[in-house]
């Protein structure tokens, strides 16, 4: 595509842009020419009871250099998560904003820490290590089934299944209900994708309603009869001398459902694709020439399943030499920071031995991902379970990518483990 001033640049604000892949060349240009650069937002179609409307965002500062993403994350008193939420799309109404602020990601101190503290114990490296056995068992069963099948669907049969099974155990969901978690997170995170939410506000609201009703039934059961699980902890936990309200409980539970499944799913499918595309690196992993821990970290950097999160400046400030006004939207592109040559040697090369690897795929600062250790554990378990079979992984068709400016995701990818020659 060209225009009067030369080739058109990929629109990093538009969900459809990412259906063709992450526009790394555009991010590289931005880091060089305008590391804090203004982006106009395109109108996005929304369907609601009143008909079809175009929603257009305010425009935003795209922050693409590693050091600036660090700075935004580490100055929450200036770059707020609560002012307008942590998502790129602006809340449509005050009521939507109030509702958004009930989610942990959309809170600022001191409320943020009070709520976050409730569950940090469940996600410490030690607590997560105690899940290792069950995660490994799920990974082994899934790997065995995929390796035996003449062909399988990477996302539905493998990449989505592991996080769903792990989450079902963690969140007190009957494993047979895990398809519900899959559908809810597709509709919420895949809101812009025509196959999932399709920009339909009513579908979005209905999904919340359905998920909350499910969560409330769970909470009621665990309040009557606590088990030693995360749901019992949340349902009975007290903040400032009072129990979480039903809404607070439901919001937390649903955040874990969405954050814990979609992200890890895309990490797994992206990692399998990356290893296939880099056979020499794959060989180093399979032969044990590189440590699993550094390989997992590099695959997380490479895929960067969540491409960005948003903040809002609450007072005038500067960033990367640019004046930022109070009220401005500021978007941190982890997908770009993780390929910044100022920090990573040969950032566009997959190097499974890379160490140190200060990637920002899990964010940093007070909102640092609660599930980072769990996500690492899941990918480690799956790669370990697949072992030498990894060398025979073969896509049988193109990956169909998600239309999303938020997650770097694949919806489907047919594949097989080729028979040993
Ligand atoms: C590869 C997988 C994952 C990636 C790339 C990822 C990425 C992120 C990022 C970038 C943030 C920061 C949000 C911000 O700064 O506004 C975050 C927060 C969060 N993540 Fe993850 N995540 C992953 C897996 C998980 C898992 C498995 C869980 C839970 C089971 C989880 C739960 C959360 C929660 C609850 C927060 C909010 C923390 C807060 O606001 O204090 N994540 N994640």
Minimum CA distance residue for ligand 1 atom 36: 369
CATH number for the domain harbouring residue 45: 1.10.630.10
In the reported structure, the alpha carbon of residue 258 is separated from the centroid of ligand 1 by a whole-number distance in angstroms of 9
Can you spell out the DSSP letters for 199-251? TBHHHHHHHHHHHHHHHHHHHHHHHHS--SSHHHHHHH-EETTEEPPHHHHHH
Ligand 1 closest atom vs CA 305: 5
Q: Give strand pairing partners of 52.
A: 47
Minimum CA distance residue for ligand 1 atom 43: 369
In a domain, 25, yes or no: yes
In the reported structure, the alpha carbon of residue 166 is separated from the centroid of ligand 1 by a whole-number distance in angstroms of 15
Contact 267, 382 (CB under 8 A): no
In the reported structure, the alpha carbon of residue 312 is separated from the centroid of ligand 1 by a whole-number distance in angstroms of 19
Count of domains observed in the chain: 1
In the reported structure, the alpha carbon of residue 256 is separated from the centroid of ligand 1 by a whole-number distance in angstroms of 9
In a domain, 3, yes or no: no
Length of the chain equals: 421
In a domain, 402, yes or no: yes
Ligand 1 closest atom vs CA 374: 27
For position 2, what pLDDT does the model report?
A: 40
374 burial via Cβ count (<10 Å: 0-12, 13-18, 19+): buried
260 vs 362: CA distance, rounded Å: 12
What is the greatest pairwise CA distance in the chain?
68
For position 138, what pLDDT does the model report?
A: 98
In the reported structure, the alpha carbon of residue 139 is separated from the centroid of ligand 1 by a whole-number distance in angstroms of 21
Minimum CA distance residue for ligand 1 atom 19: 369
Minimum CA distance residue for ligand 1 atom 37: 105
Ligand 1, residues at Cβ distance < 6 Å: 81, 86, 104-105, 116, 255-256, 259-260, 263-264, 267, 300, 305-306, 309, 361-363, 367, 369-371, 374-375
Ligand 1 closest atom vs CA 255: 35
In the reported structure, the alpha carbon of residue 371 is separated from the centroid of ligand 1 by a whole-number distance in angstroms of 6
In a domain, 85, yes or no: yes
In a domain, 125, yes or no: yes
Residues 6 or more apart whose CB falls under 8 angstroms from that of 185 comprise 257, 258, 261, 262
Minimum CA distance residue for ligand 1 atom 17: 369
In the reported structure, the alpha carbon of residue 52 is separated from the centroid of ligand 1 by a whole-number distance in angstroms of 32
For position 231, what pLDDT does the model report?
A: 86
In a domain, 82, yes or no: yes
Contact 89, 106 (CB under 8 A): no
In a domain, 5, yes or no: no
Minimum CA distance residue for ligand 1 atom 40: 105
For position 364, what pLDDT does the model report?
A: 98
Ligand 1, from 79, 249, 362: best to mutate by most atoms within 8 Å of Cβ? Answer: 362
Query: Mind listing the pLDDT tens digit of every residue in the chain (421 residues)?
Result: 444 556 789 999 999 999 999 999 999 999 999 999 999 999 887 766 667 777 889 999 999 999 999 999 999 999 999 999 999 999 988 998 998 899 999 999 999 999 998 888 888 888 888 899 999 999 999 999 999 999 999 999 999 999 999 999 888 889 999 999 999 988 887 667 777 766 677 878 888 899 999 999 999 998 888 887 788 888 888 888 888 889 888 998 999 998 998 899 999 999 999 999 999 999 999 999 999 999 999 999 999 999 999 999 999 999 999 999 999 999 999 999 999 999 999 999 999 999 999 999 999 999 999 999 999 999 999 999 999 999 999 999 999 999 999 999 999 999 999 998 7
Give the domain range for residue 91: 18-416
75 vs 80: CA distance, rounded Å: 8
In a domain, 1, yes or no: no
């Amino acid at each position: 595509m060209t225009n009067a001033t030369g080739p058109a640049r990929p629109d990093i604000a538009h969900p459809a842009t990412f259906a063709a892949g992450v526009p790394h060349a555009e991010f590289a240009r931005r880091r060089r020419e305008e590391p804090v650069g203004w982006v106009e937002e395109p109108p996005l179609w929304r369907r609601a009871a009143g008909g079809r409307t175009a929603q257009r965002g305010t425009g935003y500062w795209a922050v693409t250099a590693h050091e600036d993403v660090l700075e935004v994350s580490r100055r929450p008193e200036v770059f707020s998560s609560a002012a307008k939420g942590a998502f790129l799309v602006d809340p449509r109404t005050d009521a939507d904003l109030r509702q958004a602020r009930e989610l942990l990601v959309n809170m600022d101190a001191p409320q943020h820490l009070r709520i976050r503290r409730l569950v940090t114990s469940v996600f410490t490296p030690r607590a997560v290590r105690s899940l290792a056995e069950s995660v490994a068992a799920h990974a082994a069963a899934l790997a065995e089934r995929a390796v035996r099948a003449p062909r399988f669907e990477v996302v539905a049969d493998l990449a989505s299944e592991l996080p769903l099974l792990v989450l079902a155990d963690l969140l007190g969901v009957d494993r047979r209900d895990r398809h519900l978690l899959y559908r809810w997170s597709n509709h919420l995170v895949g809101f812009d994708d025509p196959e999932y939410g399709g920009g339909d506000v009513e579908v979005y609201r209905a999904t919340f309603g359905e998920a909350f009703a499910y969560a409330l039934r769970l909470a009621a059961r665990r309040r009557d009869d606590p088990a030693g699980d995360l749901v019992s902890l949340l349902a009975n936990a007290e903040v400032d001398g009072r129990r979480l309200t039903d809404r607070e409980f439901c919001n937390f539970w649903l955040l874990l459902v969405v954050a814990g499944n979609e992200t890890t799913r895309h990490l797994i499918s992206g990692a399998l694709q990356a290893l296939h595309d880099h056979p020499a690196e794959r060989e180093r992993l399979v032969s044990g020439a590189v440590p699993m821990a550094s390989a997992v970290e590099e695959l997380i950097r490479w895929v960067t399943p969540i491409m960005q999160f948003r903040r809002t400046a609450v007072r005038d400030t500067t960033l990367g030499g640019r004046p930022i006004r109070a009220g401005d939207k500021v978007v941190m592109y982890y997908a770009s920071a993780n390929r910044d040559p100022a920090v990573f040697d040969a950032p566009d090369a997959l190097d499974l031995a890379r160490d140190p690897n200060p990637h920002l795929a899990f964010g940093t600062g007070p909102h640092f991902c609660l599930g980072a250790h769990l996500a690492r554990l899941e990918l480690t378990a799956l790669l370990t379970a697949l072992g030498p079979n990894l060398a025979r992984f073969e896509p049988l068709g193109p990956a169909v990518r998600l239309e999303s400016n938020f997650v770097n995701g694949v919806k489907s990818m047919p594949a097989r483990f080729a028979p040993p020659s």
